[in-house]
Amino acid sequence: MLRPVRRFAIDNSYRYPEDDGFRHEVKFTLTAYEYLKFRDFCAGFMDPDKNAGDGGAYIVKSFYFDTLYYDDYREKQDGIYARQKYRIRTYGDTGYYRLEKKVKRGSRNKKISGELSAEEADLLLKGFTDIKTGSENTDSIISEMHLKGCRSSVYIEYLRQVYTIKELDIRITFDKEVGALYGNYYLNDTMPAPVPVFYNDETILEIKYKDALPQWLQRAVYRIIPSEYSVSKYAESLKYILG
């Protein structure tokens, strides 16, 4: 006896959720031994950053901004779920500047950024937050900084190595020789040597991914590195002078 055929209605209305730009981010502090071991692990199967120099690394320079009372710093220290921070970032001596707003939602974050000329970057560092650049993203961030009363707070630089798995949208960075300068510095200033932020030759490891970290990578991480540590280079740079 033939069974009646069941017919299923196919709903074609479903759409995958749009990418909201947020990524997960986990951080670790590494000893020199942990750094070498995990770096060699990554180098064995991941792609190095194409912008890295002959040594496989490049210098990251960041000028951070905060309010008069360091509200963004204190929100980080208090563990506020939704927060943000602002910075001008450049790489080595390229003359290329970006204004960035890093938005945090717990362990997830995203960057909103726009280009700056050297003149515009210098004006922001001198406290002029009422300027217009013509870039929608840049001007939106500057307007927000102006309303909050942001001004230059600390300069941070470090040496960065990057490895990626493009197909899985995974990015792993190693930040070494992290140093900071306090006070007001401008682009053309001759700066003194930055003050080391981490005194035990520690490296900051950041793992950024979109959806889920593969279990094989999780096992490798926790086999080499004992525990996750929510470290912020910005917060660590300021905590010794602000408490």
Q: What is the pLDDT of residue 16?
A: 46
Q: What is the pLDDT of residue 17?
A: 53
Low-confidence ranges of the chain (pLDDT < 70): 1-19, 54, 227-229, 243
Q: Mean pLDDT score of the chain, rounded to an integer?
A: 87
Look up residue 5 and give its DSSP letter: P
In terms of pTM, does the model score above 0.85?
A: yes
CA separation for the pair 98, 70 (Å, rounded): 22
Q: Which two tokens stand for residue 138?
A: 């840049």
Helices (H), 105-232: 118-125, 136-148, 215-224
Q: Which two tokens stand for residue 19?
A: 């990418």
Rg for the chain, CA atoms, rounded:
21
In this predicted model, what pLDDT tens digit does every residue of 26-50 receive, in sequence order? 889 999 999 999 999 999 989 998 8
User: CA dist 47 to 2, 25, 50, 99, Å?
Assistant: 57, 19, 8, 27
Q: Where are the domains of the chain?
A: 23-242
Which of the following CATH numbers is that of domain 23-242: 3.40.390.10, 3.20.100.30, 3.30.300.100, 3.40.50.720? 3.20.100.30
Q: What is the pLDDT of residue 18?
A: 60
- How many angstroms from the chain centroid is the CA of residue 62? 11
Task: Report which of 104, 93, 88, 96 is spatially closest to residue 156, judged by C-alpha positions.
Answer: 88
